[in-house]
Chains A and B, each alone.
Chain A
Amino acid sequence: MRYLPLTDTDRADMLGVIGAASVDDLFCDVPEAARLDGPIEGLPGHASEMAVERHMSRLAAKNLNAEAAPFFLGAGAYRHHVPASVDHLIQRGEFLTAYTPYQPEIAQGTLQVLFEFQTQVAQLFGTDIANASMYDGSTACWEAILMAARVTKKGKAVLSGGLHPHYGEVVRTMAKFTKDDIVSLAPELSAEPDDAAVIAAIDEGTASVVVQYPDIMGRIPDLAAIAEAAHAAKALLIVVVTEPVALGMIEAPGNLGADIVVGEGQSIGVGLQFGGPYLGLFGCREKFVRQMPGRLCGETVDAEGKRGFVLTLSTREQHIRREKATSNICTNSGLCALAFSIHMTLLGGEGLAGLAAVNHDRAQALVERLTQIPGVSLLNDAYFNEATLVLPAEAREVVRELAERSVLGGVSLGRLFPAETALHKGLLVAATETVTDEDIETFARELAAVLEGAAA
């Protein structure tokens, strides 16, 4: 009970002030039948710090962590080196243990960071503005579709087959209830992304066109062409970025005509964390600001004229308008935004470009080596740090076999698209700056052995 400061004497004194005979009297509004007296069955009592640490460490040791094996997974979550100062700074108690900055006079630290974060994201995406983060990339994607429907007053969204299938699944799940019309194009195992099919699917009823960049197979769509077609139909182009490091190398979506850019910010500062918490990025054109979901931080002045920052435009939010709110979100991903912002500050624009160049270099080294293995070919020439290999066997089994050999060898398209059997020989491999030549050599050796075994 090391977290509870009251002593029994305190408790007795306080009950005296309240005028209650016992703490049970304070629960008198709970119907007697619903009150629990004894401990709840099947749950243990409290444990010491040492005992808890031992228990949790044992569970952690049952996982194969990325540091302990050659590691090549991506598909919307990327392993990058996070400088030590990032984690140190986010653990400062004034950041870590603060709540939403409802009292701006004593929350300028959080607020200034959010303002800096918004600017960094807008610069990265090439959008006019950005918000102060959302839950993750997939929920940001759905919110972007809803926002486009509000802006255009239309209800149809066209999803490229290159969109992360989990993002597509989130969108389709939510749309079942809101009755938005979602057109999902089928993914295809082809060298080029499905730009032509996306453009063909746009019509006058289309509110938004959703394209991932680079897409789930590592291909890079031609955003300018899709933007032109979308705008001709008075639809908005929503671009989804799941690997923001790529934007250190390839053109920003906002500069190519995207109206809304959303993304997963996990790559910068946050870490893998088995899928969460992650960081939803959201940028758009300035004219849509009042339709934008999530929290916004704005610059202002205080009573003495000093520059300061506040949460703003909250009239869109649930605590003011209740059922008329444009979104029910009331949490952002503030601490992850802080980590992103610190890491981005350490990099700067040039550092991000340098990091991107190293990532691309590592991916090229990986692809060069793996395509030397008989039967293994590269699907797409234009890739950043992730590409699809076509194997002579079911990739799902190959990935499992590789794990038995302590190699975390990418994500099979079969796991991502279980219903699309034409894709099941596709293996999505990613390489970041953390990948060494030795890792690549080990991967190549084990992959060759697994494929030989499969052929035999």
Chain B
Amino acid sequence: MSGVNASGWRPTMKEAGGEGTGAPTASGDRALMLEEPLIFELGSEGKCGVDLDTPARKPASGLAKFLRKAAPALPGLTEPETVRHYTRLSRQNYGIDLGPFPLGSCTMKHNPRLNEKMARLPGFADVHPLQPQKTIEGALEVIEQLADWLIKLTGMASVAMSPKAGAHGELCGLLCIRAALDARGESRDIVLVPESAHGTNPATAAFAGFKVQSIPATPDGRVDLEALKAKLGPDVAGVMITNPNTCGLFEPDMKAIADAVHAVGGYVYCDGANFNAIVGRVRPGDLGVDAMHINLHKTFSTPHGGGGPGAGPVVLSEALAPYAPLPFVTRGADGAIHLVEEENRGEGHQSAFGRMVAFHGQMGMFTRALTYILSHGNDGLKQVAEDAVLNANYILRSCDDLLEAPFGKSGPCMHEALFSDAGLADGLSTLDIAKGLIDEGFHPMTVYFPLVVKGAMLVEPTETESKAGLDRFIGSLRSLAERAKAGDESLHEAPFFAPRRRLDETRAARKPVLVWKDASAES
């Protein structure tokens, strides 16, 4: 039978499941819906998709005692087999190129291909991080230009470019705070984190050696200013606020919070993951922020590739700027751009707290982000924020008669609309709506987050969705809400039409299978 291989695996035949699905096929495939084995089941010995030269020399004698006994037991595939394997796998994935990807707090927007083209210019892609400075002036200029935009858009004093992702940027910001406190000879060890903050915030604060104290949210989804003020004191190193917050709301008391924290000698960290909602309209520096990371993929459209890479530059106030980690790029009095690292950290750079990564950060993301920023310009970025906020409010107001909107009365939302599963028929929940959306051809929204709302559904359309596209999404969401309110139990079984039905996550966690093992070899 075709599809059977040495390990005995073959695509599972679907036995006339679902209505109108037709007869099973011998291959297990269904026209354009193709099953795909693992490379370990496809490959065989002696195959290779790369032509290699034959070495003229034997291994040097000094190497003899270190030689590997056998080559790694990995299958090789020829080039056509490889191309087909990954092309077939790609078709089992949803990406923003296929349709809306309305993950709240994750900001999945159109990824312009110009960004990709520019990042692949040999002058950027084929350059080593340790080349002599005179041979990388263009790369340093990219960093400097991007830094300049980030500083001006945020109204801050400087920016640390090297953090590899948003959470890494959070860590960088907190370490700057710690370094500044050390320089003041103070050992403050409490960081206040509101409930409405991103889940990484408390993890980061703990990781950086701080004690975390939680600040409750008010009934309208904002930081409880009075509760926060009550916690302020000489032990407080600072506060970590996500603004706009994870409920999709702007924190109107931000400046008051910052003033209160500064008054007791603390610093204000802002999680800038949602900067796309306010870019060009609000400068965090004007609100009293001391440090804020910017997820380049969220605000400036670098592709996220199934979970990364990200990039998390951190903008800093004057108070924290001297402590930014190495390496960094600076424009000298002579107008030339210099890379400052261990070998040339001169006067003025002595207080840098160290190094967070081996090289200079996510250069490939910097070129993409700069390309996008230049394409949009100052005017376009402002429009980005406005359209993102407009789209989110359009969804909020188009569905809040059917779906409970916990903070719908608190005024407009920012870039994301928050609903909950309150009001659905017994037994039907957020998860059922999410899986139903898959059958409708949409990626679901973020589910069960933020934690302050039970059964949360956080929808972020972004600015790159058209009104017609939003109307289609709203139509599907409303239809699902109506079915769930009417108690349509079939939603428990959704998705019906995805490459896989509901997956057993408990089984995966209980007895983890994390690598492929050759079943035929073990039996």
Contact = CB atoms under 8 A, between A and B. Distances in A.
What size tier do the contact residues of chain B reach?
35 or more
Contacts of B72: 123-124, 247-248, 252, 349, 352-353
A250 B67 CA distance: 4
Contact of A220 (B63, B250, B376, B435): B63
B112 interface: yes
B502 interface: yes
Interface stretch (A176-184, A200-208, A230-238, A442-450): A176-184
B495 to A, nearest CB: 5
Contacts of A51: 374
Contacts, number: 720
A340 interface: no
Interface string B16-30: 010000000000000
Given A300-B508, A301-B504, A45 B377 contact: yes
A322 interface: yes
B101 interface: yes
Closest 5 CB pairs of A and B: A348-B76, A335-B305, A275-B359, A60-B123, A173-B354
Nearest to A365: B57
Contact of B71 (A116, A320, A349): A349
A377 interface: no
A243 B388 CA distance: 43
A38 to B, nearest CB: 9
Nearest to B303: A96
A358 interface: yes
B157 interface: no
A28 interface: yes
A332 interface: yes
B199 A319 contact: yes
B309 A65 contact: no
Contacts of A336: 305, 308-309
Nearest to A172: B354
B454 interface: no
B157 to A, nearest CB: 15
Contacts of A79: 126, 128
Given A52-B371, A104-B500, A273-B363, A98 B306 contact: yes
B515 interface: yes
Interface string A135-168: 1111100000000000000000000000011110
B268 to A, nearest CB: 14
A373 interface: no
Interface residues of A, number: 212
Contacts of B357: 135-136, 138-139, 166, 170, 276
Interface string A291-311: 000011111111111111110
B217 interface: no
A26 B393 contact: yes
Given A99-B108, A169-B355, A318-B203, A276 B360 contact: yes
A115 B187 CA distance: 44
Interface centre among B60, B384, B513 (most CB of A within 10 A): B60
B196 to A, nearest CB: 13
Interface string A409-441: 001001100110000000000000100000000
Interface string B377-392: 1111011101101110
Most buried by A among B171, B376, B384, B389: B376
A114 B86 CA distance: 12
A154 B53 CA distance: 48
B77 A335 contact: no
A347 B50 CA distance: 6
Contacts of A370: none
Contact of A46 (B39, B281, B377, B397): B377
Given A103-B438, A351-B50, A296 B126 contact: no
Interface string A336-356: 101000101111111111110
